[in-house]
Amino acid sequence: MLAHVVAQSASGDAPGFDIFSLLLPLALAFLIFTMFRRQRKTQQQVKDMRTQMEPGTEVMTQFGLYGTIVSIDQENNKAVLELSPGNLATVHTQALSKVVEQTPAAGETVDDVDGTTVPDDASSISGDFADRTPAAGSTAAGAAGAPSGVETPDETLERLNREAAQENRDARDARDPKANPDN
């Protein structure tokens, strides 16, 4: 390509040096350089992740399973994962996509003194709250006049039967124009 540019400028019959004939090879070289650089970075990240994978490490597979590595067979490229206590799965080592970092759940903080997890809300407070009654007119089930905030199974059954009967009535009225003169 360069020889062609030099030959054109030396012969005199060509219009001269064209900048676009130089930009095309430079752009191609830049694209190839960035492609190889990205590939090298990805390979380095995979290599670093593989060095972290040892028995006892929690990992995630490419298909979304979380487990703890029990053993790794480098010769056969297999890893045995414990998905839950007593449940083992054998996967190819390339299916291990990332090492899971242990972070506290939302709403929890880690105590800096002894490393224990402390919840941010009052969910860990224990006590008997059965003696507390809801405010007047408010219940957990939403039925006015109920003495407690908990609906019994019989009350639930009655409520569901009433709702089903009302839905059937509404559906029947929508189908029969004589029963509903508004339609």
Q: pLDDT tens digit string along 57-70?
A: 899 999 989 999 99
With beta carbons less than 8 A apart as the criterion, state whether 57 and 67 touch: no
Q: What is the 3-state secondary structure (H, E, C) of 121-137?
A: CCCCCCCCCCCCCCCCC
| Residue 78 pLDDT | 92
How far apart are the C-alpha atoms of 102 and 115, rounded to whole Å?
12
Question: How does pLDDT run across 148-177, given as a tens digit for each residue?
Answer: 568 888 998 999 999 999 998 888 877 766
With a cut of 90, say whether residue 9 has pLDDT above it: no
Question: How does pLDDT run across 74-130, given as a tens digit for each residue?
Answer: 899 899 999 998 899 999 988 988 888 766 555 555 555 566 666 666 555 655 444
Q: Which residue has the higher pLDDT, 50 or 75?
A: 75
With a cut of 70, say whether residue 139 has pLDDT above it: no
With beta carbons less than 8 A apart as the criterion, state whether 79 and 94 touch: no
| Residue 122 pLDDT | 59
How far apart are the C-alpha atoms of 14 and 3, rounded to whole Å?
14
Instruction: Tell me the sheet residues that pair with 118.
Output: 109
With cut-offs at 50, 70 and 90, classify the pLDDT of residue 142.
Answer: very low
| Residue 166 pLDDT | 92
Question: Which are the contacts of 78, defined by CB distance < 8 A and separation ≥ 6?
Answer: 72, 90, 91, 92, 93
**Percent of the chain residues topping a pLDDT of 70:** 61
Q: Chain-wide mean pLDDT for the chain? A: 76
| Residue 41 pLDDT | 93
